[in-house]
């Protein structure tokens, strides 16, 4: 089988079909269907223990499901050749919680790591590309020579994002990207994701608890409850979905505050 073409716009970039995942007797997901469309930012929400990160790892190919399968650009991952899987893996970037940077490497070396592992580029070109990615995520040039221990929390996330973008992926996975950031830093990170989506034609799946992010940058919200995703739709549709957890999550005071902030931001943009 030939490698999947990321230019094939007739199929969604990513689709989960009938996914079942479990650990021992504990079933986490069952009969889970989920589609991510080209160019959108999808926020994945759910209560603690519902398996949001497990689902993301399954979509990434880091965990094999006990049932069902994942498609990339219309092709079943289980039926791909090793070379085709490798090609698909190079089209994915992931930002784990906290950045997950290698502590013994500088920021530049961290960003270069995927290039060293997956390309035959010269060291000089890898350095230049790494510095370009560092610039793209809003870090100052001098940060390239810093180590993770020298960085603030927000800088670590940006450095992790630069590494996730090292191979110019088409699919970007974000696991709680704004967790631990102050409101100003979280808003700046949201704006960065929006800008990168446009600049790099990214499709983004974001696991998050951040209501502001859901309201400000997500095109759709997927709700993980009762072992599957019963709704993945616009914010308006999700807020009207009749499920106790959904109503509590999106109907509480923090949600109403986030709605107010989102509406105020929209008014400022129009003005």
Q: Judge whether residue 8 has pLDDT over 80.
A: no
Q: Judge whether residue 51 has pLDDT over 90.
A: yes
Task: Confirm whether 114 is domain-assigned.
Answer: yes
Residue 5: predicted pLDDT? 47
**Residue 7 binned pLDDT confidence (cut-offs 50, 70, 90):** very low
Work out the number of other CB atoms within 10 angstroms of the CB of residue 265.
14
Task: Confirm whether 127 is domain-assigned.
Answer: yes
Q: Judge whether residue 258 has pLDDT over 50.
A: yes
Mean pLDDT of 107-126: 95
Residue 263 in tokens: 């509406």
**Greater pLDDT, 254 or 17:** 17
Distance separating alpha carbons of residues 152 and 101, to the nearest angstrom: 13
Q: Judge whether residue 28 has pLDDT over 70.
A: yes
Q: How many domains does the chain fold into? A: 1
Residues 186-215 pLDDT 10s: 999 999 999 999 999 999 999 998 999 999
Q: Which of 173, 221, 218, 193 is nearest to 54 (CA)?
A: 173
Residue 3: predicted pLDDT? 40
DSSP state, residue 108? H
Distance separating alpha carbons of residues 155 and 192, to the nearest angstrom: 13
Q: Judge whether residue 98 has pLDDT over 80.
A: no
Owner of token pair 């088409």: 170
Q: Which of 203, 204, 219, 207 is nearest to 6 (CA)?
A: 203
Q: Judge whether residue 174 has pLDDT over 80.
A: yes
The sign of the torsion formed by the CA atoms of 62, 68, 73, 76 equals positive
Residue 97: predicted pLDDT? 81
Mean pLDDT of 20-33: 95
The average confidence (pLDDT) of the chain is 90
Residue 19 in tokens: 């996914």
Residue 4: predicted pLDDT? 44
**What is the domain extent for residue 138?**
98-168
Task: Confirm whether 61 is domain-assigned.
Answer: no
Q: Which of 211, 210, 243 is nearest to 224 (CA)?
A: 243
Residue 101 in tokens: 């940077």
On whether the pTM is more than 0.85, the answer is yes
Question: Whole-angstrom distance between the N-terminal and C-terminal Cα of the chain?
Answer: 53
Task: Confirm whether 254 is domain-assigned.
Answer: no
Mean pLDDT of 89-100: 88
- In three-state secondary structure terms, 100 is coil
Beta strands in the chain (DSSP E): 14-23, 26-36, 41-46, 67-72, 75-76, 92-95, 171-175, 203-207, 220-225, 228-233
């Amino acid at each position: 089988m030939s490698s999947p073409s990321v230019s094939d716009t007739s199929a969604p970039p990513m689709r989960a079909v009938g996914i079942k995942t479990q650990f021992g007797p504990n079933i986490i997901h069952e009969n889970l269907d989920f589609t991510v469309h080209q160019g959108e930012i999808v926020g994945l929400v759910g209560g603690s223990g519902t398996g949001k990160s497990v689902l993301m790892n399954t979509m990434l190919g880091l965990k094999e499901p006990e049932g069902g399968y994942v498609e990339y650009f219309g092709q079943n991952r289980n039926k791909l050749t090793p070379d085709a899987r490798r090609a698909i893996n190079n089209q994915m970037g992931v930002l784990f919680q906290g950045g997950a940077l290698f502590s013994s490497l500088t920021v530049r070396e961290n960003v270069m790591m995927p290039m060293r592992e997956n390309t035959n580029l010269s060291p000089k070109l890898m350095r230049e590309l790494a510095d370009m990615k560092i610039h793209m995520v809003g870090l100052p040039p001098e940060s390239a020579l810093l180590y993770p221990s020298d960085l603030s929390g927000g800088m670590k996330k940006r450095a992790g994002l630069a590494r996730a973008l090292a191979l110019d992926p088409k699919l970007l996975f974000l696991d709680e990207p704004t967790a631990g950031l102050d409101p100003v830093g979280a808003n700046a990170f949201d704006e960065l994701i929006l800008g990168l989506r446009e600049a790099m034609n990214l499709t983004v799946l974001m696991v998050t608890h951040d209501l502001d992010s859901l309201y400000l940058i997500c095109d759709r919200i997927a709700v993980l409850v009762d072992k599957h995703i019963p709704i993945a739709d616009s914010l308006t549709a999700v807020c009207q979905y009749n499920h106790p957890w959904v109503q509590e999550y999106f109907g509480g005071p923090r949600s109403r505050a986030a709605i107010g902030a989102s509406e105020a931001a929209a008014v400022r943009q129009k003005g």
